[in-house]
Structure 1
Amino acid sequence: MKNILPGSMLLLMIVACNPPKPTSPSAEMKSNDSAMAALYEKNLASLKAGIAAFESENADSWSAVISDSVIYVSPIYGDMDSTKAHWQQLIMSYWADWDSLRLTNPIFLPGIDQQTHELDGSVRYYGGWSGVHKSGKHTLVGFYGTYDFNADGKIISAAEFFDAGGLMNAVATK
């Protein structure tokens, strides 16, 4: 009996001092990651269709991937109009003033939820937009955009960032 107590204590210390075995992600987490990856790919295809429509100056195809209730954040300083109609006006002005607009060296990335830092199906990208202004000047501007989508794969929120003022200064007649 005297040996049982010390032996039990020794066994308890050995078990307690062993590090816990690492747990693998649950099947539910893997399933959620897989679903978010599929949603990202679907939304990426929508965004790429919108980019292709922009490059080919196809207003109907561009409009088809944008929700009517989109909230748009313009890169232009002081531009507070966030509607689809305004965004389309800006697009049309680019088409009127530039030829051969092309996205160069794009890097597309999945977006994450601000709270959980997990994939949320949104898409963001870095790249450069090149073109030839009606003045004959060739331009290339660095670009970053982030986009959220609805269940139909249409953009419901967009924020685009580039040096709009610098671009206008670069093509201004001097």
Structure 2
Amino acid sequence: MLRWPPAAVLLLAACSPAGDAPADPPSAVAAPTTSSEGLPPGLAVLTPDDYAADPLSGELACAFTADGGTLLAMRGNVADRTGRAEGLVKVGARRLLGQADEPGGYDGLPDGTGFSADGLTIAVELVSNTPLAGGESPPYPARLIARWATGTERTYEGTWTCGP
């Protein structure tokens, strides 16, 4: 692999002609179909700032957690037969708000769910019906499958936790 010294990179950048028109901003669907490792683009961990910028409504919540952070957060109302739970994910630095694929509010979330937002569909599947811990809101082993409109797909192993 050819490595350029930092000064050469700066020199090339300084000598390159500036474009007259700004580049088109990226969109969720136009996100890279593969990373530099050849993998589909990954979901990023949600932060408190993400929740503050795009708050979800609903009485109770579920979250998919992997690698020490929440990748999908969903909220919905109990006994809401026609409403769809709201969800939040992040691809790179871009937050995507969406809804559960099926109506049922919160009641449709604890056993796994489907979610769609701006060219991205997510399926959360429980791997086991045995919780990993006790308590009112125990985590369950789960799998999250993210599919982009481009046809790329990425699977995450983690936990699905629902409750207050």
Same fold (TM over 0.5): no
TM range (shorter): under 0.3
Q: Which has the higher strand share?
A: 2
TM-score, with structure 1 as normaliser: 0.26
| Structure number with bigger Rg | 1
